[in-house]
Amino acid sequence: MTRPRLATGARLGYDEVRKEHVLLVPEGAVRLNRTAAEVLELCDGQRSVDEIVGALSERYDGADLRDDVRGLVEAMAQKGLVVDAAA
């Protein structure tokens, strides 16, 4: 995965009724915690995974988020929700 982006038609949103972040996809929705929503927001097809890690650890006082970010991006890619913009 070089430069991850959301799959065509996947759209991030915030559900005001249930008070949670969601990834809206054709005829479905994936509930997200705040961190996952932040990672996916950075999956814009421009940034590399390392750049996403860098951007996030700045927000979180330099915490090492490499494994978390990679794990999430890979899990979402397995489900077809994140694709590689470089592919």
Partner 1 sequence: MQQPRPFTLIAELSYRCPLHCPYCSNPVDIGAEKYRRELETEHWIRTFHEGRALGVLQLALSGGEPMLRRDLVELCAASRDAGLYSSLITAGTHFTRERAEALKSAGLDHVQISVQSPNAEENDRIAGNRSFEKKIAAARVAKELDFPLTINCVLHRQNLDRVEEVLDLALDLGAQRLELANTQYYGWAVANQQALMPTWEQLRRAEEAVERFRERVGPKIDVLWVLPDFYEDLPKPCMGGWGRTAIVVAPNGEVLPCQAASTIPGLEFANVREHPLEWIWNESDAFTRFRGTEWMQEPCRSCPLGRQEADFGGCRCQALRLTGDAAATDPVCRFSPHHDRVVAARESAQTDEFVYRAIKRPVRA
Interface residues toward partner 1, by CB under 8 A: 7-11, 13, 15-18, 22, 24-29, 77-80
Cβ proximity to partner 1: between 28 and 45 the closer is 28
Between 17 and 62, whose beta carbon lies closer to partner 1?
Answer: 17
Helix residue ranges per DSSP H, the chain: 34-42, 49-59, 66-78
Least distance to partner 1 from the beta carbon of 64, Å?
29
Distances (CA, A) of 35 to 26, 50, 75: 23, 16, 14
> Tokens 């650890």 correspond to what residue?
57
Compare residues 53 and 73 and give the one whose CB is closer to partner 1. 73
